[in-house]
Amino acid sequence: MSSPWMPRRGASPDASRLLIERAHEEFVSGNRGDPRVRDVRGIVRDSWRRSVDNLVGVEALPPLALDPDELERLRREHPLAGVIDMIRGLIIPGESDESGVVVAVGDAAGRLLWVEGDRHVRALTGDMGFVPGASWAEDAVGTAAPGTALRLDRSVQIRGAEHFNRLVQPWSCTAAPVHDPETRRILGVIDVTGGDPVVTPQAQLLVDATARAVEGELLLARIRARAEQPARRAPRRSASAPESARASLRVLGRDRALLEVTGEGTETVAELGARHTELLLVLATHPEGLSAERLSELVYGEPATVTLRAEMVRLRKVLDRHAPHLAPASRPYRLGAPLVSDAHEVLGLLDRGAHRVALAAYRGDVLPASAAPGVEEFRDLVRTALREALMAEASLDVLLAYADTEAGADDEELLRLCLSMLPARSPKRAALVARIERLAADA
């Protein structure tokens, strides 16, 4: 079945795009009274105003509001989890990988839980942070269909240049909120993102109809469940357990890690010594546990179990002050609770296709001064994963940004790839050629 989202032959681009771009420039620069601003749709102009008032960055990447564990939990527990196949079937008939659009489903807070659809479009939109776990609430990214639809509690279409964030302006989108069929509380949002065909009146009708169909299906499922168990009381919500402490390790571009612990409404940050940093990172990368001999080899480069045991005693004392739930067990040595690092977060972003966000989060190599074999192995893994993912799938602007980092500055293969992707008359070609020639001369 052909996709309804592919552009019609002979379709012309929106003639008002340039005018809207100029109005946007005037608006964000403070000239709200410019005549061109008055010509912008009221729903967009009002959203721009809220975006400015909320101090939304004009070129800021959306924040990642959910870590991988939270994302998976919400996907299991969210009321829309059982109707994802229905949404997919209604909006993208046929092969979704060749549909020309991306379909996203988010929760009531604007956090994207599912992002599916055309593989090529997903790769491009992933560069602007349109990935599972990211917040697309209006107060996070400004004017965009998912967040603005939730803010106004109605379906919304945002065309290209109407987006507040310039990174999003190459795309258009239509979104509609989904409500609880009985309480009418907002459960989430359905969004379709792509080219101009996603902001036609027919597109809005389809997304609206999908949202209503989902609400109807949710109601029917409840009616069926009540009919099957007439005498059974509705299960009571269990009292929420106290928020458990969560710990993360900041190791990118640092020689001594920062241990950040949050929970129960509090947050503590402690800078660790170099050896304790290495021990925690190695244990975090081996959650299954390590023998004393293997752990000492990964940290000291040789079996040194006596030295290791003494250092582990000191590490436990540090953790008792800042993160007692992490206190490691022995035989094998393993942490008492999950510990993620900012390097693991970069790997997770790459897996989601969020190349631009991953590059922004990559603040440098993992513990660059460490010579611990386990650290060196993880450092190489992260650096290689970043390079290979960007070289294989990232857009040109992301590759150029990577070439300007320390990791990519002397990568001749990367520079040649960027050069091959640049238009023949691009002013950036000369600088790339000069860098390639310099690297060849130094070789």
Inside any domain, residue 355: yes
pLDDT tens, 347-378? 888 887 778 888 888 999 999 999 999 999 99
Do 151 and 288 fall into the same domain?
Answer: no
Pseudo-torsion of CA 196, 201, 206, 212, nearest 10°?
130
Q: For residue 135, what is the domain's CATH number? A: 3.30.450.40
Question: Which of 51-58's residues contact partners 24+ apart within 8 Å by CB, and which partners?
Answer: 51/138, 51/139, 51/142, 51/143, 51/164, 52/27, 52/28, 54/138, 54/139, 54/142, 56/139, 56/140, 56/141, 56/142, 56/164, 56/165, 57/165, 58/28, 58/142, 58/164, 58/165, 58/166
pTM of the model: 0.65
| Residue 95: inside a domain | yes
Number of domains in the chain: 2
Give the strands of the sheet with 112-117, arranged side by side.
112-117, 102-107, 186-194, 172-179, 156-158
Note whether 192 and 91 are within 8 A (CB): yes
Tell me the per-residue pLDDT of 194-229, one tens digit each, with 9 for 90 and over: 998 999 998 998 999 899 989 888 887 877 676 665
Residues 218 and 126 in one domain: yes
Q: Are residues 189 and 326 in the same domain?
A: no
Task: Answer yes or no: is 49 within a domain.
Answer: no
The model's confidence at residue 9, banded by pLDDT at 50, 70 and 90, is very low
> In terms of domains, do 271 and 145 share one?
no
**Co-location of 117 and 146 in the same domain:** yes
105: containing domain: 54-226
Same domain, 221 and 250: no
> What whole-number distance in Å separates Cα of residue 169 and Cα of residue 335?
45
Segment 37-90, tens digit of pLDDT: 888 999 999 999 999 999 999 998 999 999 888 999 999 999 999 999 889 888
222 with 249, same domain: the answer is no
87 and 219 in a single domain? The answer is yes
Same-domain check for residues 163 and 197: yes
Flag whether pLDDT at 162 surpasses 60.
yes
Name residue 248's amino acid: S
157 within domain boundaries: yes
Least confident of 5-14, 87-96, 317-326, 344-353: 5-14
Of 13-17, 200-204, 316-320, 330-334, which gets the smallest average pLDDT? 13-17
Assess whether 158 and 195 both reside in one domain. Answer: yes
Task: Please tell me whether residues 269 and 120 are part of one structural domain.
Answer: no
Residue 234 has pLDDT above 60, yes or no: no
Same domain, 61 and 185: yes
Among the three residues 331, 358, 382, which one is the final residue of a domain in this structure?
382
Residue 11 lies in a domain: no
In a domain, 17, yes or no: no
Say whether pLDDT at 413 is over 90: yes
